[in-house]
């Protein structure tokens, strides 16, 4: 539409110019000046139109094994006081451990992870919800919007992706959004080999109301910790086991469920060689 208006304006200018051509001497400098003015006006209008289109993307990033890294999700979008924006993205939960989310954009006072859909495969969708109490803001240029606290899990693969999927304002999907995934490269030595690895087995029973059990394996005598997180990334329970011998062991615990509600939880096992995660459902 803007292009058609620009062409029509040029044509009208040419008509006016030709009608006065016999009465006024030819002035190429004025012709060029007029063309430059209309071109600058056209580019300004087009740049404003393009920048107004919402964008959500993740930059290609390198993170280190055994270190928690902050990975920003960038966005160009408008929001007003009292709005809530939800960014839905996808990642491989067998390669990355998502601990929490941090607000980065102006006016964001609350950033939280809503409950993840329980999935049997490795790919899982997560909803990051942001709430605003500041004045209205329009991010015309891509700006760090929220930050994901990500820790690589032990494994052989060294590349994965975080892929934005949807952008919602007040639970209504925003159309015409440009999404771009980011490649995450995991640097550092692979802590274990494929032939002999540490692990944490699936939790049982699953779902559970308070009792939890699973097997785990360590390759050397070392301290082992088990940390339980809710779907929002908040730590709700922790067990530390010092100087655990190498081998296969069984973990059995009657959880103090005072800080638990019904929903999806992650149990994170950490040893000097790596981090390992399983998930389970709590039903109260």
> Tens digits of per-residue pLDDT, 42-91?
555 444 444 467 899 999 999 987 788 999 999 988 888 888 888 888 88
Tell me how far apart the alpha carbons of residues 83 and 264 are, in angstroms, rounded to a whole number. Answer: 26
199-282 classified as CATH 3.40.50.300: no
Q: Are 75 and 56 within 8 A, CB to CB? A: yes
Cross-strand partners of 249: 216
Cross-strand partners of 186: 63
Residue 31: per-residue pLDDT: 60
pLDDT 10s digits, 241-280: 999 999 999 999 998 888 888 888 889 899 988 888 888 8
Task: Give mean pLDDT, residues 190-206.
Answer: 73
Residue 230 neighbours by CB distance under 10 Å = 19
Residues 6+ apart with CB under 8 A from 57: 73, 74, 142, 164, 178, 179, 180, 181, 182
- How do the domains of the chain map onto residue ranges? 2-51, 55-187, 199-282
Binned at pLDDT 50, 70 and 90, residue 115 comes out as: low
55-187 classified as CATH 2.60.40.680: yes
Spacing of C-alpha 224 from chain mean position: 29
Q: Are 260 and 284 within 8 A, CB to CB? A: yes
Query: Which residue from 158, 151, 160, 162 is spatially nearest to 188, judged by alpha carbons?
Result: 158
Residue 230 has phi, psi (to 5 degrees) of -85, 180
As given in the structure block, the two tokens for residue 176 are 């015409």
- Assess whether the region 55-187 and the region 199-282 belong to the same CATH fold: yes
Residue 34 has phi, psi (to 5 degrees) of -65, -40
Query: If you ran DSSP here, which 8-state letter would residue 208 be given?
Result: B
Sequence length of the chain is 284
């Amino acid at each position: 539409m803007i292009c058609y208006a620009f062409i029509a304006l040029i044509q009208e200018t040419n008509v006016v110019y030709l009608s006065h051509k016999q009465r006024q001497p030819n002035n190429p400098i004025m012709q060029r000046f007029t063309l430059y003015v209309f071109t600058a006006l056209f580019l300004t209008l087009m740049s404003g139109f393009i920048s107004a289109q919402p964008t959500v993307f993740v930059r290609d990033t390198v993170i280190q094994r055994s270190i928690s890294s902050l990975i920003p999700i960038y966005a160009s979008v408008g929001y007003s006081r009292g709005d809530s924006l939800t960014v839905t993205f996808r990642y491989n939960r067998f390669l990355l451990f998502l601990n929490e989310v941090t607000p980065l954009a102006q006016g964001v006072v609350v950033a939280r992870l809503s409950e993840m859909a329980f999935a049997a495969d490795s790919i899982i969708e997560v909803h990051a919800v942001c709430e605003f109490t500041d004045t209205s803001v329009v991010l015309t240029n891509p700006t760090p919007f929220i930050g994901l606290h990500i820790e690589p899990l032990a494994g052989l693969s060294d590349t994965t992706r975080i892929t934005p999927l949807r952008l919602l304002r007040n639970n209504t999907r925003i159309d015409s959004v440009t999404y771009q995934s980011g490649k995450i490269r995991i640097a550092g030595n692979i802590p274990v080999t494929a032939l002999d690895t540490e692990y944490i087995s699936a939790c049982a029973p699953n779902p559970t109301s308070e009792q939890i059990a699973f097997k785990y394996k360590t390759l050397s005598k070392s301290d082992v910790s088990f940390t339980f997180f809710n779907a929002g990334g908040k730590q709700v329970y922790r067990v530390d086991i010092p100087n655990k011998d190498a081998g296969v062991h069984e973990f059995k615990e009657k959880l103090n469920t005072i800080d638990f509600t019904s929903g999806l939880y992650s149990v994170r096992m950490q040893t000097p060689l790596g981090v390992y995660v399983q998930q389970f459902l709590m039903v109260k």
